[in-house]
């Protein structure tokens, strides 16, 4: 059994306009010391998944079913109080926008100390020393002085470092980073990605990184899960997803991105249309209205939901097209176009 | 292209925002958002303007379109000095110079229909159209890939990508000569981003447009630009045609920017040699003296702290402001043994 096992997770929100199926049957697992990247566009359910794992939908109006097993304990079945005892200690989160995730009235040090003392019975002095250590470890200069600064006195990159320090304060075994670098400039993003990679190695925690940026995913992830309309459409290790992708949506994502590591193309190859509303997910394969190969499935695309089926060891694809056809399409049509780029 | 007169030329343009304090609003300093920027834009080309947040790229866009008035220097559009024109005299010029904004959610009035939004330029400029404004608006909607029947819909009924198309339609209404696009795709999902980038390119070919594209995403800029200018703290540090800028960047900052971009190739991440900048961009309120990049530059020497490097042409059309440029032709001999940390 893996350290984190998510089985058939469904998170639905009843609204006046209908049921929002934000996460609809998601299964994955992460081991200690491994990094899972979850990619998808806005509204694909990736952030709802992360909040669900942390139990932050509890007490809300969300309907949650399935299992989230953290080291064997089912978080879905636990009470909000019990999950609270784990949050911060065994699992922690790094949010996208550190300015709104930190309290503007308290010093950075105070906020780290608070998180640490909730789970550890230590004096304020000990906790403060721990906070200074952590700030130094995430690369904040003069941590002894900066521990008494307020979040607004930090720059964007430093704030994100402070957030990481806070998340790490109790040595969590599971760390979820939701778009950790989206709000940052590219030179600072590179610093933060390096830091996360080093810290993960040091702490040997399980890391889930959620992003829309395939470049960031490629930098950090061991395994990648591609989400579309609340479902996983493709799952595999980083090399499967980048060198042997089999889902037309993954192809579309790869074709949409201008790349610096290839010669520039004349044109990008976008996916037509736009992502569906989660209230009105298209029947059958949710991607079929945008899929250029939908007619190859003899009408099944719009009536049957395809299974997430293994194509080879550990590589799962949710598509009606037979495996041989997908492979042939990738090798003969998609890959040559992407690579001449 | 370059033997023509430039459509737009900017000489030593400055914008200093005053910082005031005290009861009498005494000026105590200035934010030097743009501090002596010169460039030309020729008809039919796309100039990309890249840099990190706070480098003055958006302010440059606003100065050129005269949404802001420069505090120094000169802006010449079609041979006419427009630096200090009054609002009244500027109005007829707005027809020829338009702007596309970043956020398609806040740049469209939520209480106006698409027809009213896209038709407004005709009404404001008092332009008569052959078959009425409605027909003209519907033609433009069709041109940017929207359904002309959506004339009476409101912005909230559209997705992000469609809204950006509405913004583009409004920009195109009066067939401008120059379009300044400030982060036109950064608020959009990857698959939609590619659609809008392709649309901008098609429109340029069809309508013979000239673009200045302001963006922080180096790969998007490379994809759409003919020439690229890199800005750092209110100054242009390097300007060149796309090919030589990306293949042989001369300024250390450009090198660092390019090497910081995450590449969607999991194997490449291991072999890639990287330049890691430390720290953040200094404040434009108090920029470092002489070369503004010397505080973060690994090649900085004494001279960089005392003498400001001029923006000099080192090879055909490739201008760079650095005492120790990389990839420089032999004549500009500088020891090129940068220890890349």
Predicted confidence (pLDDT) at residue B277 exceeds the cutoff of 80: yes
Q: Contact B191/A238, CB-based, under 8 Å?
A: no
pLDDT, tens only, B171-190: 999 889 999 999 999 888 88
**HEC readout, chain B:** CCCCCCCEEEEEEEEEEEEEECCCCEEEEEEEEEEEEEEEECCCCEEEEECCCCCCHHHHHHHHCCCCCCCEEEEEECCEECCCCCHHHHHHHHCCEEEECCCCCCCCCCCCCHHHHHHHHHHHHCCCCCCHHHHHHHHHHHHCCCCHHHHHCCHHHCCHHHHHHHHHHHHHCCCCCEEEEECCCCCCCHHHHHHHHHHHHHHHHHHCCEEEEEECCHHHHHHHCCEEEEEECCEEEEEEEHHHHHHCCCCHHHHHHHHHCCCCCCCHHHHCCCCCCCCCCCCCCCCCCCCCCCCCCCCCCHHHHHCCCCCEEEECCEEECCCCCCCCCCCCCCCCCCCCC
Where is A81: in which H helix or E strand?
Answer: helix A80-86
Q: Do A258 and B265 touch (CB under 8 A)?
A: no
Of B161, B223, B261, the CB nearest to A186: B261
Residues in A touching B160 (Cβ below 8 Å):
42, 274
Q: Sort B273 into a burial class: Cβ within 10 Å, 0-12 / 13-18 / 19+.
A: exposed
Mean pLDDT of the residues in chain A: 91
Pairing between β-strand A73-74 and β-strand A35-39 as defined by DSSP bridges = unpaired
Give the nearest partner residue to A214 out of B52, B201, B264, using CB atoms: B264
The model's pLDDT over B132-175, given as tens digits with 9 standing for 90+, comes to: 889 999 999 999 999 999 999 999 988 888 999 999 999 999 88
A164 touches chain B (CB under 8 A): no
Mean pLDDT check: name the lowest of A224-233, A250-259, B117-126, B268-277: B268-277
CA A129/CA A134 separation, integer angstroms: 9
Q: Which residue of A has its CA nearest to B274?
A: A190
The minimal CB distance from A194 to the residues B256, B259, B276 is found for: B276
> B221-238: per-residue pLDDT in tens?
999 999 999 999 999 999
State phi, psi for B219 to the nearest 5 degrees. Answer: -75, -35
Beta-carbon separation of A270 and B194 below 8 A? yes
Measured in angstroms, the CA of A85 and the nearest CA of chain B are apart by 36
Determine the average pLDDT of the residues in B35-46.
94
Task: Provide the pLDDT for residue B335.
Answer: 45
Over the stretch A200-227, which tens digit does the pLDDT of each residue have? 888 899 999 999 899 999 999 999 999 9
pLDDT tens by residue, A127-178: 999 999 999 988 888 899 999 999 998 888 889 999 999 998 988 999 999 9
Asked if pLDDT for residue A328 goes beyond 90, the answer is: yes
Residues B255-282 have a mean pLDDT of 82
Give the C-alpha separation, A29 to A210, whole Å. Answer: 14
Rounded to the nearest 5°, which phi and psi values hold at A81?
-60, -45
- Give bridge partners of residue B262 from the DSSP assignment: none
Q: How many CB atoms lie within 10 A of CB A40?
A: 27
Spatial contact of A250 and A233, defined as CB atoms under 8 Å apart = yes
Nearest to B260 among A187, A213, A274 (CB): A187
Say whether residue A195 is in contact with chain B using an 8 A CB cutoff.
no
- The mean pLDDT value for A25-48 works out to 92
DSSP 3-state of A285: coil
Q: Interhelix angle for A156-168 vs A124-137, to 10°?
A: 130
> Between residues 218 and 237 of chain A, which touch chain B (CB distance below 8 Å)?
218-219, 221
Which is nearest to A331 in space by CA: A251, A231, A228? Answer: A251
Distance from CA of B160 to the nearest CA of A (A): 9
What distance in Å separates the CA atoms of residue B222 and residue B243, rounded to the nearest whole number? 9
Q: Where are the domains of chain B?
A: 8-267
Mean per-residue pLDDT for B270-296? 83
Tell me which residues of chain A, numbers 258 to 317, contact chain B at a CB-CB cutoff of 8 Å: 258-261, 264-265, 267-272, 274-275
Task: Give residue-wise pLDDT tens across range A306-325.
Answer: 999 998 888 999 999 999 99
Please check whether residue B329 is in contact with residue B317, taking contact to mean a CB–CB distance below 8 angstroms: no
Q: Residues B51, B231: contact at Cβ < 8 Å?
A: yes
Report yes or no: B195 at the A interface, CB cutoff 8 Å.
yes
In whole angstroms, give the CA distance from residue A2 to residue A67.
13
Measure CA A209 to chain center: 4
Give the distance from CA B243 to its chain's centroid.
18
Predicted local distance difference test score (pLDDT) of residue B270 = 67
Instruction: Give the Cα separation of B20 and B22 in Å (integer).
Output: 7
Pairing of β A315-318 and β A35-39: unpaired
Q: Which residue of A has its CA nearest to B51?
A: A185
**Cβ contact B197–A41 (<8 Å):** no
Cα–Cα distance for residue pair A46/A227, rounded to 1 Å = 7
Give the model confidence (pLDDT) of A86-134 as tens digits. 998 899 999 888 888 889 999 999 999 998 999 999 999 999 999 999 9
- Residues B4-10, mean pLDDT to the nearest whole number: 89
Residues of B in Cβ contact (< 8 Å) with A275 = 189, 191
The mean pLDDT of chain B is 88
Rounded Cα distance between B24 and A271, Å, is 57
d(CA B124, CA B90): 13
CA distances from A292 to A269, A321, B105 (A): 12, 12, 29
Q: State pTM to two decimals.
A: 0.88
Model confidence band, residue B330 (pLDDT cutoffs 50, 70, 90): low
Cα(B156)–Cα(B137) distance, integer angstroms: 19
Contacts of A41 in chain B (CB under 8 A): 189-192
pLDDT of residue B332: 44
Whether residue B338 has pLDDT greater than 50: no
A190 and B274 within 8 Å at the Cβ level: the answer is yes
Domain boundaries, chain A: 4-221, 249-339
| Interface pTM, i.e. ipTM | 0.85
Domain B8-267 has CATH 3.40.50.300: yes
The model's confidence at residue B41, banded by pLDDT at 50, 70 and 90, is very high
Fold of A4-221: Rossmann fold (3.40.50)
Structure confidence at residue A340 as a pLDDT band (50, 70, 90)? low
Report whether A210 contacts A38 (CB < 8 A). Answer: yes
Asked if residue B340 has pLDDT above 60, the reply is: no
Alpha-carbon distance A149 to nearest alpha carbon in chain B (angstroms):
17
In this structure, are residues A221 and A209 in contact, taking their beta carbons and an 8 Å threshold?
yes
Alpha-carbon distance of A311 to A148, in angstroms, equals 54
Q: Helix, strand, or coil here: A97?
A: coil
The residue count of chain B comes to 341
Torsion of CA A58, A61, A62, A68, to 10 degrees: 20
Q: Give yes or no for residue A266 having a pLDDT over 80.
A: no
Residue scoring higher pLDDT (A245 or A99): A245
> What part of A 127-156 touches B (C-beta under 8 Å)?
155-156
Residue in the block written with tokens 């300044």 = B180
Gap between the Cα atoms of B314 and B99, Å rounded: 33
Name the token pair of A76. 């879905």
Q: What is the per-residue pLDDT for B3?
A: 53
At A186, which helix (H) or strand (E)?
Answer: helix A186-203
């Amino acid at each position: 059994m893996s350290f984190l096992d998510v089985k058939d997770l469904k998170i639905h929100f009843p609204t006046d306009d209908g049921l929002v199926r934000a996460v609809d049957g998601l299964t994955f697992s992460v081991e200690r010391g491994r990094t899972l990247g979850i990619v998808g566009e806005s509204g694909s359910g990736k952030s709802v998944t992360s909040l669900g794992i942390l139990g932050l939908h509890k007490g809300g109006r969300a309907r949650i079913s399935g299992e989230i097993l953290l080291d064997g304990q089912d978080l879905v079945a636990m009470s909000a109080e019990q999950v609270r005892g784990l949050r911060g200690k065994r699992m922690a989160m790094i949010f996208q926008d550190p300015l709104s995730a930190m309290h503007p009235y308290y010093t950075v040090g105070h906020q780290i100390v608070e998180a640490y003392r909730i789970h550890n019975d230590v004096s304020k002095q000990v906790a403060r020393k721990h906070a200074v250590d952590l700030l130094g470890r995430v690369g904040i200069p003069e941590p002894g002085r900066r521990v008494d600064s307020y979040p607004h006195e930090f720059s964007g990159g430093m704030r994100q470092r402070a957030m990481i320090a806070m998340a790490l304060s109790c040595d969590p075994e599971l760390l979820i980073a939701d778009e950790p670098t989206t709000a940052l400039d590219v030179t600072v993003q590179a610093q933060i990605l390096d830091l996360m990679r080093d810290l993960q190695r040091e702490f040997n925690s399980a890391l889930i990184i959620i992003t829309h940026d395939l470049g960031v995913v490629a930098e950090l992830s061991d395994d990648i899960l591609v989400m579309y309309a609340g479902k996983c459409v493709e799952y595999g290790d980083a090399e499967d997803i980048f060198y042997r992708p089999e889902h037309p949506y993954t192809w579309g994502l790869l074709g949409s991105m201008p790349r610096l590591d290839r010669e520039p193309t004349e044109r990008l190859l976008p996916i037509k249309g736009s992502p569906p509303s989660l209230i009105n997910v298209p029947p059958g394969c949710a991607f079929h209205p945008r899929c250029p190969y939908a007619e190859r499935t003899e009408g099944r695309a719009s009536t049957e939901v395809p299974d997430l089926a293994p194509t080879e060891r550990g590589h799962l694809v949710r598509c009606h097209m037979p495996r041989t056809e997908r492979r042939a399409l990738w090798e003969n049509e998609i890959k040559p176009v992407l690579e001449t780029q | 292209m370059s033997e023509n007169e430039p459509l737009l030329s900017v000489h030593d343009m400055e914008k200093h925002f005053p910082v005031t304090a005290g009861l009498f609003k005494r000026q105590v300093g200035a934010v030097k958002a743009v501090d002596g920027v010169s460039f030309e834009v020729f008809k039919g080309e796309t100039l990309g303007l890249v840099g990190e947040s706070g480098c003055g790229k958006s302010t440059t866009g606003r100065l050129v379109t005269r949404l802001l008035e420069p505090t120094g220097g000169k802006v010449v559009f079609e041979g006419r000095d427009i630096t200090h024109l009054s609002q009244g005299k500027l109005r007829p010029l707005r027809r020829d110079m338009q702007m596309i904004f970043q956020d398609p959610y806040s740049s469209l009035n939520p209480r106006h229909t698409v027809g009213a939004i896209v038709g407004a330029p005709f009404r404001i400029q008092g332009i008569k159209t052959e078959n009425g404004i409605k027909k003209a608006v519907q033609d433009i909607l069709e041109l940017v890939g929207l359904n002309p029947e959506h004339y009476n819909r409101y912005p909230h009924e559209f997705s992000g990508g469609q809204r950006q198309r509405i913004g583009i339609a409004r920009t195109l209404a009066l067939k401008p000569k120059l379009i300044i696009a400030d982060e036109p795709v950064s608020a959009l999902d990857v698959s939609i981003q590619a659609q809008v980038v392709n649309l901008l390119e098609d429109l340029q070919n069809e309508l013979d447009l000239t673009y200045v594209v302001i963006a922080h995403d180096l790969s998007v800029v490379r994809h759409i630009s003919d020439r690229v200018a890199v800005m750092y703290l209110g100054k242009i540090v390097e300007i060149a045609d796309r090919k030589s800028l990306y293949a042989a960047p001369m300024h250390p900052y450009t090198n660092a920017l390019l090497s910081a971009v995450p590449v969607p190739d999991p194997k490449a991440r291991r072999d890639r040699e990287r330049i890691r900048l430390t720290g953040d961009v200094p404040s434009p309120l108090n920029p470092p003296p002489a070369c503004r990049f010397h505080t973060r530059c690994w090649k900085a020497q004494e001279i960089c702290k005392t003498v400001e490097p001029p923006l000099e042409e080192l090879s055909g059309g490739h201008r760079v402001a650095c005492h120790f440029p990389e990839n420089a032709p032999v004549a500009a001999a500088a020891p090129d043994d940068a220890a890349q940390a």
